[in-house]
Structure 1
Amino acid sequence: MKHLRYTVAGTETVTHVPEDGRDLQSFRAFVEHQARNGLVTALDTETTGLDIYSPTYGLRTVQLGNAVDAYVLQVEGRPEMAEAARWALSVLPRMVVHNAPFDLLVLDRHLSTPLETLAPRVTDSKILAHMYDPRLRAEGGTGLGLKELSALHVDPSAPDTQGDLTAVFRSIGETKATGWRAIDINHPTYLQYAGLDVIFASRLLPILEEQLRKVGVGRPLVDFEHRVMTICCKMMRRGMRVDHDYVTALVGRLEEEAREQALIAERYGVTSVNATAQVSAALVGMGETLTEKTPSGALKVDKAILLDLADLDTSWQRRGARTPNPLADAVLRSKRAGKWRSSYGIAMRDGLDAAGRIHYNINSLQARTARMSISGPPLQQLPSGDWTIRRALLPDEGHRIFSVDYSAVEMRVLAALADESVMKRAIAEGRDLHAFTAELIYGPDFTSFHRKLCKGVGFGKVYGGGALTLSRQTGAPLPDVKKAISAYDRTYRGIKRYSSHLQREARARGFVVRTPVGRRLPLDRDRVYAATNYMVQSTARDVLCQALVDMDDKGLTEYLLLPIHDEALGCAPADIAEDVAREVGKTMSMDFFGVPLDTDPEVGGVSWGSLYMKKADVMMKHDAYYAAHPDEARAAEERRK
């Protein structure tokens, strides 16, 4: 048995590394003691990297421990060690893991320890940390990483094994990404790193639990988040089929598009679309007025500004508000094609498991508001009006894809939370909320542009977009946007009152507001006005998560593929796909403080893109109609003006 000793917070700790069957007797005695006394045991793994489902992926060590003792089982190529780890995981009643989804899926895939049996006994300390303070260190919070939390709460002078390990990687000619596979499994720094992780997690858990108790975050919410995490893990494990031939061709097309658009930019003196100084100088030279600046004082030419100059809305559709600037348009399209090629095309082409599936990562508790995120690839960032990337993702063989999303869920949640009577009446009557608003403000002869403007103001209340942002997105003059915002506030006085109430509450509570489920949302002192945005976004997220739990109770999780914003994506055998989609829609629908949250189930074909191709067809028919009827097109433009 190898023993590595070091001091944590003034106490000597020991990492034990069993080398043979005799050493495993000590490990078994430790596990039996923990189990017999109902103690929490910290769990962690070391692997060859992050791509859990890659055909060449490997599990190297499994470590278990408490505040003073850690056992590192070197399971790589050691069946007896792997069997001992499986046995321990089957008998330990309570475990703590930091960032549990990763380790749960690793153990499910590579140690034959089913997610379904292990997850109910695991507490994720990262979830607890997020529920106390979801902010990163750069945002003024305590952070969410194990090392930074341990340095804050356990021992600020604990050895920096992460830094030491990175130095070892460099010494053997590897990077931070590749070193995990190449480092000698017996390297003392590697073993010390593995042991410290469980010792720190074990010591961190009671501190985080006490923090939550003091601020009144109850166990039901903690249990809810762990249930949601487990459901998302099941979707991550399943993944989605990828049309490899389509993706391979798509990578080439996107590369060509990026090159072609970059050549257009070169005509205006821009040799690199990523050189912001070149882009801003060229735009000014073309007569554009740029007024916003970066913190360093350079002219800003971010995506929002370029979309405005290119006369595109956030869905990349022409607004008809100005003559599109060809340079801004080329820069946008070149950068988008390049990003799609690397973030989506190459990721899906090269990141498949042996069965041709992509396994994305779903962070069920992300951002300050707890909204979910998806990475590898970031599928929640795809534009709603484009099917290009989605076409690559397929349902299972013999299945059809389906999508169920809420109808204007953020606006309905806002109406319920603010108890806004006028808005609630419109929802109860089944009115198009944005058209209803436009009619109240502009009268019965309102135009489609008025509706778009009112929609933008409404979403500004949800997402925090100000008058300048809305002016860019819609192409409306800034004074008109400000008038629309004022008219909106007069029309929906309950929202204004609610926002003022939340801000007063936040100041009284130390710049923190509470959602209906009891979630703490810290606010920046200079952005207390964001209280309404945070409250609505967080609550809408919890609505979808409650629906996921309800669907899991009904046995519907087996049909789910992804949660995306306010949408549940899934697939089912072709003969029952319509029925499953209806049942998912029925389960997601609910009454929220007297406001109905309705859903819109839709069944597509043999790719995720098929759902969006229908929308694209509608838009194309709309454009084709006006192309064939220029008089009506001109009349529509006059009404818009």
Structure 2
Amino acid sequence: MLTYRHPVAGDMVNVHVPATPEELDAFVSWAQRATERGPIALDTETTGLDVFSDGYRLRTVQFGDAHDAWVIHWERGGHFRRAALEVLTKARRFLIHNAAFDWLVLDRHAGIPLEELAPRTRDTKVMAALVDPRQPQEGGIGTGLKPLSAYYVDRTAPDTQGDLTAVFRGLGLTKATGWAGIPLGHPTFNLYAGLDCIFTARLEPCLSAELTRLEVRDRLVDYEHEIARICAHMQRKGLVLDEEFTRELDSALSEDARENADVAARYGVESVNSNKQIAEALTAMGETLTERTAGGAVKVDKAVLLALADMDLQWKRLGIRMPNPLAEAVLRSKRAGKWRSAYAETFLDTVDSTGRVHCGINPLAARTGRMSVNRPALQTLPSSDQMIRRCLLADEGHVMVSTDFQAVEMRVLAALADVRRMKEGFQSGGAEFDIHMFTAQLIKGLEATEKDRKLFKGAGFGKVYGGGISTLARQTGASEDEIRRAVNAYDRAFPEIRRASARWQREARATGMVTVSATGRRMPLDRDRAYAVVNYQCQSAARDLLGQALLNAESAGLLDAMRLPIHDEILASVPAGEAEEFAREFEKAMTFDLFGVPIVSKADVGSRSWGSLYGADY
């Protein structure tokens, strides 16, 4: 048996690599003793990250505790697979860093259903995110195994992936091909595979102690593991891709990007990605550009260009100026190019052999716990889009159902800040209650107009999202003076919001600039952005309402229908003949009472494509 020894925090640890059936027996005996002592750390090495792609391979499965790790060569088949499967099925508890990935790998490539593995797992990445969700660039430790191990376990902990990348180069491989191409017996490959288990085993008690010290509730830790399991289930299920439509869309987006780039070229912009060329051309057209980047360059970002094109953030006309044709051409060319690469091409690159795409779901993507969908990032699509969403289909014989919280941001704000007038409105107004018109009439009287509604809607979202006067002016099309007056009137109508913000900021300053959510989530604040506390509190509570909705939906037997969590929405594929019944059940799952404020939802039944819920005809 090959055994590699390596120092970790002053100890010599062992990484064992069995080569014969007898050596595998020693591994199984170790695992039987180890599971009696406590959880076993578990990890996998694979050929890459696209778990559902054709040709994807599981290469090794490794197990370990604080002192010993065992790297089992799954690729060798036979006895090796049987030994690994015996431990995978019989061990009582596992520790995994970034468990959802390994759940899906072992589910698809080792036949261990995530339903069996997830209840026996503690995820050190989830634990770390509940200690401090910030990434290193934000001032935190991060949630990667390397930085966490260096902080909590051994400051000299090797960057296993970084060091292996150097090995790949030495073997004539790239980072993309290295995981599949490195020889199974390579010493560095095996050593680092085992060390990741040992670091995970040593990391878990440190994080457990830190969670206890910070008084993070055990219930919150368990809840996040349940949410991770449900999200992994949705990722495994995936969505049917309309490949023919997606190829046509890919071609159309390419043409759209080219045509609009040609329009920009007529105004002297040879590259729509050259801010310098765009700024010079707009100035030559008589536009006044006053905003500057941190480096002092003229700013011509999306927000600036949308304003010049007379469009809001949803690309709808504001009607307050003559649209600048260059600004619009640049925006449309860049968007078409981005959507082609980010969506159409990604769908086609990642579709599996059964015609499904399995978008990654990150249930803890932000400090607030907000979820995200990646590869591609579907949550960044504008709410008006039907074109990209049209690519994704419900199952054969099914239709799409989207169930969305109604005005959840404002309902959460009313509940958390105990805003009396808002709460009364929500309590008496029913599911269709329009908080923004209610606010406009409260301030302006019954003669309030749609323009007033839009103005006070902007002021309200400014409270929730922390938008400044200039940002709100761009979003609403109102002047800065109008927005300023609206915000002041908003504060007079709902004084509890400012008081709550001041209280949350005081509490954060007393606890090292950390605000704690209604569910006990710790969210560090940046000292120069303490005002963001309202956004953090509201966004975190809204996210946890969505998390609870996922759990409620599972309890109602709806898990197999669920496909994606998007913002405040659950997307589902349901049998066409039972769509209305499913819609009612999803609405029930997404109905709560939050500190006296009713949280309500509305389910929309579409046709087969996700885009049908946004106007597409299929």
2:18 equivalent in structure 1: 18
Does the 8 Å CA contact 2:592/2:599 hold for their aligned counterparts? Answer: yes
Deviations 1:251-300 (A, max 9, x none): 00000000011111111111111111111222222222222222221111
Question: Which residue in the other structure is 1:393 paired with?
Answer: 392
Q: How does 1:586-625 map to 2 (within 5 A)?
A: 586-613=588-615
Deviation at 1:200, TM superposition (A): 0.7
Aligned to 1:528: 530
1:458 aligns with 2:457: no
- Matches of 1:375 and 1:227, distance apart in 2: 20
Cα deviation for residue 550 of structure 1 reads 1.3
Distance 1:594 1:330 in 2: 48
Supply the AA of the counterpart residue of 2:397: G
Which residue of 2 is the match for residue 631 of structure 1? Answer: none
The question of whether the paired residues in 2 share the 8 Å contact of 1:322 and 1:475 is answered with: no
For 1:361-398, what per-residue CA distance to the aligned partner results, in whole angstroms no more than 9, with x for missing partners?
10011111110010011111111111001111100011
- 1:250 is displaced (CA, Å) by 0.4
Corresponding position: 1:214 with 2:224: no
- Please give the alpha-carbon distance, in whole angstroms, between the structure 1 residues aligned to 2:141 and 2:469: 33
Measured after TM superposition, the shift of residue 514 of structure 1 is 1.1
Structure 2 Cα separation of the partners of residues 45 and 64 of structure 1: 9
The amino acid that maps onto 1:550 is: N
Match of 1:543 in 2: 545
- Residue in structure 2 matched with residue 148 of structure 1 by the alignment: 147
Secondary structure of 2:175's counterpart equals coil
Question: Which segment is superposed worse, 46-55 or 474-483?
Answer: 474-483
Q: Hey, what's the Cα distance between the residues in 2 that align with 1:487 and 1:369?
A: 29
Task: Tell me how far apart the structure 1 counterparts of residues 241 and 404 of structure 2 sit (CA, whole Å).
Answer: 23
Deviation readout 1:378-428 (Å, 9 max, x if unpaired): 111111111001111100011111011011001000001111011112212
Contact 2:365 2:372 in 1 (8 A): yes
Contiguous gaps of at least 5 residues in structure 1: 618-641
**What percentage of residue pairs aligned between the two structures are identical?**
53
Q: Which position in structure 2 is the counterpart of 1:242?
A: 241
- Structure 2 counterpart of 1:94: 93
Give the structure 1 partner of residue 427 of structure 2: 428
Amino acid at match of 1:351: T
The answer as to whether partners of 1:470 and 1:481 remain within 8 angstroms in 2 is yes
**Cα distance 1:44–1:566, how it changes in 2: closer, same or farther (>3 A)?**
same
Matching of residue 553 in structure 1 with residue 527 in structure 2? no
The more displaced of 561-570 and 443-452 is: 443-452
1:594 Cα deviation after fit: 0.7
Which runs of structure 2 are paired with 1:440-519 in the superposition (5 Å)?
Answer: 440-519=442-521
Structure 1 window deviating more from structure 2 (298-307 vs 334-343): it is 298-307
- Please give the secondary structure, in 2, of the residue aligned with 1:76: helix
Distance 2:159 2:533 in 1: 37
Aligned pairs, how many?
A: 615
The answer as to 2:59 corresponding to 1:57 is no
> What SS is found at the alignment partner of 2:330?
helix
Aligned-partner Cα distance in 2 for 1:26–1:281: 72
Shift of 1:175: 2.0
Structure 1, 504-513 or 437-446: larger mean CA deviation: 437-446
- Paired position in structure 2 for 1:634: none
2:174 aligned partner: 175
| Aligned residue number for residue 630 of structure 1 | none
Match of 1:636 in 2: none
Query: Secondary structure of the residue that 1:299 maps to in structure 2?
Result: coil
Task: Give the counterpart letter for 2:267 in structure 1.
Answer: Y
Q: Deviation of residue 442 (structure 1)?
A: 2.6
Residue aligned with 1:177, SS: helix
Q: Is the 8 A contact 2:404 2:568 kept in 1?
A: yes
Partner of residue 191, structure 2? 192
Aligned to 1:121: 120
Q: Which amino acid aligns with 2:378?
A: L
Q: Distance in 1 between matches of 2:290 and 2:178?
A: 46
In structure 1, C-alpha distance between the alignment counterparts of 2:281 and 2:476, rounded to whole Å: 24
Q: CA deviation at 1:157?
A: 1.5
Question: Contact 1:368 / 1:521 at 8 angstroms: preserved in 2?
Answer: yes
Q: 1:506 to 1:159 in 2, by over 3 A?
A: closer
Q: Secondary structure at the match of 2:615?
A: helix
Tell me if the contact between 2:42 and 2:95 (Cα under 8 Å) persists in the aligned partners. Answer: yes
Question: What amino acid is aligned across from residue 325 of structure 2 in structure 1?
Answer: P
Whether 1:332 aligns to 2:331 is: yes
Cα shift readout 1:15-44 (whole Å, capped 9, x = no counterpart): 10111101101101110001233x111110
Q: Distance in 2 between matches of 1:145 and 1:15?
A: 21
For 1:6, what is the secondary structure of its paired residue?
strand
**Aligned equivalents of 2:159, 2:551: Cα separation in 1:** 39
* Per-residue deviation, residues 319-358 of structure 1 (Å, max 9, x unmatched): 1111111111111111110111011101111211111000
Contact kept? 1:604, 1:610, Cα under 8 Å: yes
What letter matches 1:571 in structure 2? S
Q: Which residue of 2 aligns with 1:252?
A: 251
Question: CA RMSD for the aligned pairs?
Answer: 1.3
Equivalence for 1:632: none
Contact 1:161-1:192 at 8 Å conserved across structures: no
- The whole-number CA distance in structure 2 between the counterparts of 1:181 and 1:255 is 32
Aligned position for 2:27: 27
Conserved in 2, the CA contact under 8 Å of 1:15 and 1:195? yes
Show the counterpart of 1:622: none
Alignment of 1:251-400 (within 5 A): 251-400=250-399
State the Cα distance separating 1:443 from its structure 2 match.
2.7
* Letter matched to residue 604 of structure 1: G
Q: Which amino acid counterpart does residue 478 of structure 2 have in structure 1?
A: A
Rounded Cα–Cα distance in structure 2 between residues aligned with 1:530 and 1:433: 22
Aligned to 1:581: 583
Distance in 1, Cα, partners of 2:303 & 2:474: 7
Letter in 1 for 2:255: E
2:573 is aligned with 1:571: yes
CA shift digits 1:88-115 (9 cap, x unpaired): 0111111111111000000000000010
Q: 1:551 offset after TM fit, Å?
A: 1.3
Asked whether the equivalents of residues 578 and 603 of structure 1 are also in contact (C-alpha less than 8 Å), the reply is yes
- The separation in 1 between residues aligned to 2:87 and 2:145, in whole angstroms, is 23
2 CA distance for matches of 1:160 and 1:502? 38
1:439-462 per-residue CA deviation (whole Å, 9 max, x = no partner) reads 222333322222112111111111
Q: Which residue of the partner structure matches residue 405 of structure 2? A: 406
Contact 1:321/1:475 (8 A) holds in 2:
yes
Equivalent residues of 1:49, 1:177 under 8 A apart: yes
TM-score, normalised by the number of residues in structure 2: 0.98
Separation in structure 1 between the aligned mates of residue 181 and residue 28 of structure 2, nearest angstrom: 29
Check conservation: 2:146, 2:157, Cα contact below 8 A.
no
- Structure 2 residue matching 1:429: 3-state secondary structure: helix
Which whole-Å CA distance do the structure 2 matches of 1:454 and 1:174 have between them?
57
Shift of 1:220: 0.7
Aligned with 1:513: secondary structure? strand
Q: Distance in 2 between matches of 1:310 and 1:447?
A: 25
- Which secondary structure state, in structure 2, belongs to the residue aligned with residue 113 of structure 1? coil
Structure 1 position 164, deviation (Å):
2.1
